Amino acid sequence: MENSSQESHLRSENSVTHESPYPLYAMAVCGQRIAVGSFIEDYANRVDVVSFEPESLSIKTHPSLSFDHPYPPTKLMFDPNSSSRKSSSNRHLLASSGDFLRLWDVGDSSIEPVAVLNNSKSSEFCAPLTSFDWNEIEPKRIGTCSIDTTCTIWDIEKGVVETQLIAHDKEVYDICWGEARVFASVSADGSVRIFDLRDKEHSTIIYESPQPDTPLLRLAWNKQDLRYMATILMDSNKVVILDIRSPTLPVAELERHRACVNAIAWAPQSRRHICSVGDDSQAFIWELPLPPVAGPNGIDPMSMYSAGSEINQLQWSPAQPDWLAIAFSNKMQLLKV
């Protein structure tokens, strides 16, 4: 990624657009494959797997790589082992969350269900899952979070729950892994908490919303520098940057959005860059000094892109680090960065 101290605009001619018959929300990128999930407020939803053709700068659809999904998927994610490969012709494992954690085998010309994992010990029904994260270091492990205040760690090879924790006082909205046995989560109780599976009785509160009980919606851990995290608050235009060595106080707040921020993603191959998208239809890429030091007027984004409507989702894939994927309305768009 080019370094720049001046704001620049990502040009629309450096974008590729896929238009869907339905509103889109969840996305996952694996090499040149992209899975997109519908957001229809009904039981019947869809997931389509399309492919990006970088030579022709086009998106190719595959009618056979599409399947029905119960309720809108809250998140989609490919197996991190395969997500780092650039091939689009291998078989890949895809996970989705909604009513349950589901695994799908994505082949060249078909998609087959592999497993439906229910984290409820007492019922065939499960509290809705808000998000999940796939452990890159130990890919047999997926952590899910739920509105029932719990985080559940699955061993997907055995199809069993490894552990289940009451993680927060209210609904848990996001979860992400830092190390093989260390994860963090955010909640409607307004806190960021870090958990270590080797000491399940304790957690460390890294940050709490300045206004009591303001929910934290998303969490992103900087995989290139695990000292840093980013989170967003409900109905807030800020991206809050945290240093886990200095709990409670943010080391920076990125405040250039003109409406609430909906998604954040650290650059997969740069410890200093993060992207944010929001209801102002803007995608901002920020270059942070590390340690972050904001001037008297705050930090400005190094580049920006204006979409056609509110941007709901964002993915920045290790396999395609030069391209950002955003979702707004019924469109998925790849942006060259």
CATH number of the CATH domain containing 50: 2.130.10.10
The answer to whether position 273 is within a domain reads no
Give the C-alpha separation, 324 to 315, whole Å: 6
Backbone torsions φ then ψ of 14, nearest 5 degrees: -100, 35
Q: Can you point out the beta strands (E) in 39-187? A: 44-53, 58-60, 66-70, 75-78, 92-97, 101-106, 111-117, 129-134, 141-146, 150-155, 160-166, 172-179, 182-187
Six token digits for residue 245: 């060595």
The answer to whether position 192 is within a domain reads yes
CA neighbor of 180 nearest in space, from 143, 220, 228: 143
The answer to whether position 302 is within a domain reads no
State residue 282's pLDDT score. 98
Domain span at 51:
14-259
CA neighbor of 233 nearest in space, from 254, 257, 273, 260: 260
State residue 126's pLDDT score. 79
State residue 88's pLDDT score. 45
Give the C-alpha separation, 329 to 309, whole Å: 7
Six token digits for residue 11: 């040009």
The answer to whether position 2 is within a domain reads no
Spell out the residues 6+ positions from residue 164 whose beta carbon is closer than 8 angstroms to its own: 119, 121, 150, 151, 152, 153
Six token digits for residue 165: 């924790």
* Number of domains comprising the chain: 1
The answer to whether position 22 is within a domain reads yes
The answer to whether position 311 is within a domain reads no
The answer to whether position 292 is within a domain reads no
Spell out the residues 6+ positions from residue 42 whose beta carbon is closer than 8 angstroms to its own: none
Indicate if the alpha-carbon torsion angle 154, 159, 161, 167 is positive or negative: positive
- Amino acid sitting at position 182: V
Give the C-alpha separation, 230 to 329, whole Å: 25
Give the C-alpha separation, 54 to 105, whole Å: 24
CA neighbor of 69 nearest in space, from 117, 102, 31: 102
Give the C-alpha separation, 127 to 100, whole Å: 8
Q: Is 330 exposed, middle or buried (0-12, 13-18, 19+ CB in 10 A)?
A: middle
Six token digits for residue 35: 């899975």
Give the C-alpha separation, 153 to 124, whole Å: 18
* Cis status, amide bond into 63, omega within 30 of 0: no
How many C-beta atoms lie closer than 10 Å to residue 68's C-beta? 10
Indicate if the alpha-carbon torsion angle 16, 326, 45, 260 is positive or negative: negative
Give the C-alpha separation, 313 to 333, whole Å: 10
Beta strand 303-306 pairing with 8-9: parallel
How do the pLDDT tens digits run along the chain, 337 residues long?
Answer: 544 434 567 666 789 999 999 999 999 999 899 999 999 999 999 999 999 998 899 999 999 999 999 999 999 999 998 755 444 446 899 999 999 999 999 999 999 999 999 977 666 777 899 999 999 999 999 999 999 999 999 999 999 999 999 999 999 999 999 999 999 999 999 999 999 999 998 999 999 999 988 999 999 999 999 999 999 999 999 999 999 999 889 999 999 999 999 999 999 999 999 999 999 999 999 999 888 776 778 899 999 999 989 999 999 988 889 999 999 999 999 999 9
The answer to whether position 312 is within a domain reads no
